[in-house]
Structure 1
Amino acid sequence: MNTYDLVTTSEAQLYLKLDTLPAGLDMLITNLSARIEAYTGRWFVARPVVDVLDSGGGDLLFLSRYPVQGTPVVTDLTTGLPVTGFLTYAGRGYLYLGGGWEAGRQRYKVEYTAGMCPDTPSVPADIRQACLEWVAARYNRIDPAITREQLGDYSYSADESDGMPANVRAALSLYVIPRGC
């Protein structure tokens, strides 16, 4: 299991009602967890980040990831000295320094932890469920190129062009960070 997976292999094994753990299930979980994070633009399981940021001399430094867990460690790369006295706006992903940050390209190194939850069990239940449903859809599909098949009364069709089932997309829609604007 990858540290940042949204569900565990045991949870997926139980959800799929499998007696033994099949080869490749852990890789499928890791892949789909990463795709869910890419689709939503969020990290659900917190992890370390190191940003090297430019400053135009304003009061704010914008981090690449948020929400921020704990207090970031900031180093002024020009002087090599730590920067203190700033406020962290964890949910917005920026640091405020009264009087402003000194201007400069790649001036500040910021080390911090970012993500919604401290670990996999803390990930919201609807996200975990969506991941399990996508794992089940991928695991049970024999040929991903098949979009529609019918045999007697049984029929199957896939309406997703990118491989994400519609029910999974609907569950994740509440967590998507708007891009651009």
Structure 2
Amino acid sequence: MKSICVYCGSSKGKNPAYVEAARALAGQMVNKGIGLVYGGGRVGLMGEIANEILRLGGEAVGVIPQALMDKEVGHRGLTKLHVVKNMHERKALMAELADGFIAMPGGIGTFEELFEIFTWFQLGFHTKPIGLLNAAGFYDGLIAFLQHTVNQGFVQANQASMLIHEPDAELLLDRLQTHRPVRIEKVFDEATAKNIV
């Protein structure tokens, strides 16, 4: 695993544990030789993890839409910064550049990115590991709700189990690195899938 796409908030949140988790994840990624792919921002948890990766000598690659770059929220000190046309291009390129995905605490945008990449997995478009860094129990409610969707017959248990969650950055990375995907019957052939995503 050479790079991980990290989805996280453009704010820091109210609990200092979220910033601590971002820095801890950055440290573990650098220790394991894993580069960061993320949304390219310089603010919030996005800025925290990128700055810590860079401080420790790791690689941080950002992908940001031109509109957000124009608002001066883009991080100009990254290893590489891709400026793209829109959010759709941003998410597609982030997914292409990464070997796995982690969602840290964040808001609506973080949830949207997480569930889109999880949907792509469910449909068989990729087999890359997906994890939640459950800092300070941030995702406890989501984990419980996902189990509810399994209980109600909307999500298969083997698919839900592929969303790996840990409160500790090192444990989460270790589980992502040893990930073995379940076999998912593809709904579409690969040519059709490329046109959809």
Fold similarity call, TM over 0.5: no
Considering fraction of residues, name the structure with more helix.
2
Considering fraction of residues, name the structure with more strand.
1
Q: TM-score, normalised by structure 2?
A: 0.25
| Structure of higher CA gyration radius | 1
Query: Which structure is richer in relative contact order (CA contacts within 8 A, separation 6 or more)?
Result: 1
Q: TM-score, normalised by structure 1?
A: 0.27
